[in-house]
Amino acid sequence: MNIVIVGAQWGDEGKGKMIDILSRKVDYIVRYQGGNNAGHTVVAGGKEYIFHLIPSGILHKGKICCIGNGVVVDPMVLIKEINDLRKAGIHIDGRFKISSLAHVILPYHRILDQLRETKRTQRIGTTGRGIGPCYADKIIRCGIRMVDLLNPGVFRDKLKDNLKEKNEIFKKVYDHPGFSFDKIYEEYLDYAKALSGYICNVHLLLNDAVDKKKDILFEGAQGTFLDIDFGTYPFVTSSSTTAGGATIGTGVSPVKIDKVIGVAKAYTTRVGEGPFPTEFPPAFDKFMRNKGNEFGATTGRPRRCGWFDAVMVKESVLLNGISELAIMKLDILDNLKNIKICTGYKYKGKKFREFPYDFEVLSNALPIYKEMPGWDSLTTKAKKYRQLPGNAKNYLSFLQDVLNTKISMISVGSSREETIFLD
């Protein structure tokens, strides 16, 4: 079965843990978008691993892990990740592949990302790792792909052309000295050497796997509301995080995908700027951030926290074709007196039951809440649904009804064992 895992909120839903669990059941795991602005944290065998580019499925012996064409790759970061895995005793040779069509992040992308952010009046909250500018170059057709790095002549011509234009922009617009061709050229040829053994036509490999009836897990990064089209634009990431991105970003046809599983936290978080209707008031926000350890895996940035927004997740179900949901971090809601779920918004006397895309409405929308009593016992020890506190079951059952979507997994702790399977 070919399954897409997608974040149903603003990312950091705990996809890493779900992907780790599901990876055991498949043969191939492929990342389809984003770059090293994503971070999955997986706790396995009492050890914590943080992944930025390589699919976390690499922790499972024999699984083939790929970076699809839709991902943008910073080779320096990738090589470090490969070396760290080697040091931890995880062998990746022969089972890690990078698409020859994936675009490469260059030093000017990283610097441009940071310079543009400082110039804005309204900051996007970018991680400053060059992801956006790299995607921009891809779209304006001056990007450099993995396959280009492998051909020194092609790489030289493209880089020369790019630097001619970019250095002028850096000097004139940003008062930045610009970049030396020789330095980048040599540095990136070294990266190409180090990575050449992993680069191949991943789209062919995956389609061959489909033909052979192998199982593929398509690993989404970030979340639905960070999608370049459907997210809370412009506070979004630069790629298609929704399930459709899985086909564009890997070259596997949509008709070959069997199922989309959505991952949502039992509450909501968002990193960086942008509207967030169900955001907690400051003191409770701080309390929940610490309770849930809501700090970014990649950047350490504190995440903003709020109640579960069913309007958002409903939209996610629709956009992604989610037929099953995994609800994560239920344990973080333990011991709260009351719990709220947003079922609609109000703005200027008008009610909204669907996600509003108008920036003014979304920024000022007042949530309509369903309030439910909390539970004062711990959910972490529950192995079966029936062992959960009654009010936790009521909460989940309300979510399932309001979203009209089956909850198939519930996570009550960070380890693999702390998961309740309903199927």
| Site for ligand GDP, rule CB under 6 A | 7, 11-17, 39-41, 43, 297, 328-329, 331-332, 411-414
* Both tokens assigned to 110: 């990283």
One-letter amino acid at 288 equals: M
12 is catalytic: yes
Torsion sign, CA atoms 127, 129, 131, 137: positive
Q: How far is the CB of 40 from ligand GDP (least distance, A)?
A: 4
In 120-275, alpha helices (H): 131-139, 146-149, 152-174, 181-195, 202-211, 244-248
- Complex with ligand GDP: residue 42 or 195, whichever CB lies closer: 42
Cα distances (Å, whole numbers) of residue 363 to 130, 137, 166, 275, 278: 27, 31, 36, 5, 11
Q: How far is the CB of 145 from ligand GDP (least distance, A)?
A: 26
For residue 389, say if its preceding peptide bond is cis, omega within 30 degrees of 0: no
Q: How far is the CB of 379 from ligand GDP (least distance, A)?
A: 9
* Both tokens assigned to 352: 């909204």
Q: How far is the CB of 90 from ligand GDP (least distance, A)?
A: 18
CA distance 248 to 260: 15
- Complex with ligand GDP: residue 67 or 365, whichever CB lies closer: 67
Catalytic residue chosen out of the listed positions 40, 52, 103, 203: 40
Q: How far is the CB of 264 from ligand GDP (least distance, A)?
A: 10
- Complex with ligand GDP: residue 144 or 217, whichever CB lies closer: 217
Backbone conformation region of residue 23, classed left if phi is above 0, alpha if psi is from -120 to 50, else beta = alpha
In 175-280, alpha helices (H): 181-195, 202-211, 244-248
DSSP 71: B
- Complex with ligand GDP: residue 155 or 308, whichever CB lies closer: 308
- Complex with ligand GDP: residue 100 or 240, whichever CB lies closer: 240
User: C-alpha 162: how far from its chain's center?
Assistant: 29
Candidates 246, 264, 276; CA nearest to 365 is 276
Count the Cβ atoms, other than its own, within 10 Å of residue 183: 10
401 is catalytic: no
Q: Are 234 and 124 in contact (CB under 8 A)?
A: yes
Q: How far is the CB of 77 from ligand GDP (least distance, A)?
A: 16
- Complex with ligand GDP: residue 104 or 317, whichever CB lies closer: 317
Active site members: 12, 40
